[in-house]
Amino acid sequence: MATTMLQKKWNNNLETQASCNPETTEDPVFLISDLCALLETYIEPAQVKAVYRAYLFGENAHEGQQRLSGEPYIYHPLAVARILAEMRMDTNSIIAALLHDVIEDTPTAKDQLAKEFGEEIAELVDGVSKLTQVQFESRAEAQAENFRKMMLAMVRDIRVILIKLADRLHNMRTLGAMPPPKRRRISRETLEIYVPIAHRLGMHNLRLELEDLGFTSLFPLRYRILDNAVKKARGNRKEVVEKIRANIQERLQQEEMHVNVIGREKHLYSIYEKMRSKGLTFAEVFDVYAFRIIVDKPDTCYRVLGIVHNIYKPVPGKFKDYIAIPKTNGYQALHTVLFGPYGIPIEVQIRAEDMDKVANVGIAAHWLYKSGAEAKRQDLAQEWLRGLLEMQQTAGNSLEFLENVKIDLFPDEVYVFTPNGDIMTLPRGSSIVDFAYAVHSDLGNSCVAGKIDRRLAPLRTELLNGQTVEIISAPGAKPNPVWLDFVVSAKARSNIRIFLKRLKYDEAVELGRRLLEKSLASFSVNLNDVLPERTSKVLSEFKLDSIEDLFEEISLGNRVALLVARQLTAPQPPENRLQRSALRPQAIKNVFSRYAPDWLKGSQKQKYPLAIRGTEGTIVSYAKCCCPIPGDPILGFISIGRGIVIHRESCKNTKDYRSRPDKWVDVQWENQEKGVFSVDVRVDTENRRGVLATVAASIAEMSANIENISMNERDGSHSSMNFTLSVRNRKHLANIIRRVRRIDSVVRMIRSK
């Protein structure tokens, strides 16, 4: 759009509406006038003029576009800007809100916005815009990638998410024009992602409205039933609520306390969630009476608490001091639950006036109030954003990142202390491992044990409020995949996954190298003797970036090592006599193996089985059907995606695989195998008291661990015990069997087939 055209329209509007009077006709100018009147209450006239210029730019950009409701599209950006103006957001936020769809929905480019309004506003608009130029395989992937883009922009400037939340709020208010499937999809996305973000940023009023709008659209029938139930029960409650409120107000006035006591009513989505999550009936949830007491300053909160506890007895363990220890979103208040008249439970929140104002608008309070408390609130938000940035760096893809963010938005918290007395805030249900990763990723990766209040505790122990947690680490320790079963924080889950992925990759590369070297040995070629040009050609044919990627493909069974070796050693005649004379000795030595007929080199061909050490990690697994251990004759089967699965030669399942010789690899145990291996044994015993304890003790004496045990009663006098043991090799197992067979009650002990 040309600047002269903008200027002309700007001058025409100034002539007709110099003061932005809201009492004009109902058209887009009236709406911008209404916005200007609101802005004039807290920003300078020159800034209002800049907002008006942005409106003209957006109106021209969206000219001819309509929403599904039939109204001009510019109505939507104006409504979004108005929501932010009601939060008293700064001028650049209002301008970005007016322009937030021009990059996504019009031909306007980011560079043009930067030229007209500055780089800061262009970055804000770009942060909110979806990726429209990129094609995705699924809607879920597109949603995740757009969310990831928005969150990264949010890390740079938190106003991006405030604009997006205002945008989502107006879309939810006007959702009725959408077809039902789209309404449900948008509502679910709102409840799963945007509501938790608003809660995390402390934006109470916006969160409540999003929750109820989402609930209405996603579950309309449940909403109507619950709404009717609330209206029906409300009549009986009014008298009780007013009586309790008046009682508290009168008592506080007697103590010369200038306070405001408000009877709160739970909104519908809160009632629904509590019924659903805790399995409560409507009566059980609705019988809780809630009150908010607003006082003049923080010190008064504690005085009021004492008086309220004198009026009604407090419920033990239900007091929370969020003034001394604010929530992660900066929320501050005193919470307590009381035994009211007739045993009615009463929830009371006590907060100062500033706390109440800030609680309603959350992080947006930073732009409304410039005190130290709001600066601290923004610091808390920035700390959370830095955690998001770390998560996206370790996430494998956008879908994994979105999953991690959803976990991180878990609403309830637990507060624990470090040994130095610092407070750590973690999601409810966090374990010692979650705490270790919250302190530092390296500490989490190397933790081996933990202490709670100076006492050793298992790593999976759930943390409770007020506990002091200490982490014991070891230099060579590594994360255990089992940790993923009990960690709840996104940071812990993300770091464990990325470590295990890297570990699996390293293991796969090492195994793939060994498999290829074994196959190359069949051609009497060493890996170091393969010409670099030949390696590059093979990598290019397979569309791989590096030799390590080729090793990984081989170890996972995606490439057959023998075929890769054949391609790497395929004849490549020299270009001239000089090159022929320059052949390395080792290459000349290999001419026989490459060009001699099979009958001639049959006697020369050797077998080079792959040595299994027991320390290959997840890339080599041991079949559960036969439980091979060192000393057993074994075969290796290449399973796509899993690596090599080791079977005993006598295993019945190997018969089904023998028709696929390309998938088998010759393996043998290394002389100095390491680690422990699982094996199943059966012990037949007489039914005597204490026989299980005796057998278990004998196994323990032989330095073997019992992984699992089950019992079957064969008849009235005999039983069979099935053990899964961890042993070093066949000799170790034989020693265990000899030791157990010496027990009088043991009839026999055999290895399970």
- Name the residue with higher pLDDT: 12 or 526: 526
Task: Tell me the pLDDT tens digit for each residue of 13-61.
Answer: 443 343 343 333 333 334 788 888 889 988 889 999 999 999 999 889 8
Select the highest-mean-pLDDT range: 472-481, 564-573, 650-659.
472-481
| Whole-number pLDDT of residue 55 | 92
Decide: residue 661, CB within 10 A, 0-12 exposed, 13-18 middle, 19+ buried.
exposed
C-alpha distances (whole Å) from 154 to each of 231, 263, 359, 396, 400 are: 41, 36, 21, 20, 18
> What are φ and ψ of residue 393, in 5° steps?
-70, -30
Instruction: Give the SS3 label for residue 203.
Output: coil
Write down the pLDDT at residue 496: 83
Task: Report whether 349 contacts 335 (CB < 8 A).
Answer: yes
List the single range of 154-163, 324-333, 615-624, 654-663 with lowest mean pLDDT: 654-663
The pTM assigned to this predicted structure is 0.56
Which of the four pLDDT bands, split at 50, 70 and 90, describes residue 201? Answer: confident
Tell me how far CA of residue 640 lies from CA of 18, 290, 558, 740, in angstroms.
Answer: 73, 59, 6, 40
Q: What percent of the chain has pLDDT over 90?
A: 12
Give whole-number Cα distances, 71 to 16, 66, 97, 177, 722, in Å. Answer: 24, 6, 18, 11, 74
Active site residues: 104-105
Give the pLDDT confidence score for residue 203 in this predicted structure: 82
15/7 Cα distance (integer angstroms): 12
Instruction: Give me the phi and psi of 370, to 5 degrees please.
Output: -110, 25
Instruction: Please tell me the number of Cα atoms within 13 Å of 401 on its side-chain side.
Output: 24
Domains of the chain: 3-220 (1.10.3210.10), 226-369 (3.30.460.10), 498-608 (no CATH), 611-669 (no CATH), 677-751 (3.30.70.260)
Measured distance CA(227)–CA(207) in Å, rounded: 19
pLDDT above 60: residue 600: no
pLDDT band at residue 404, thresholds of 50, 70 and 90? low
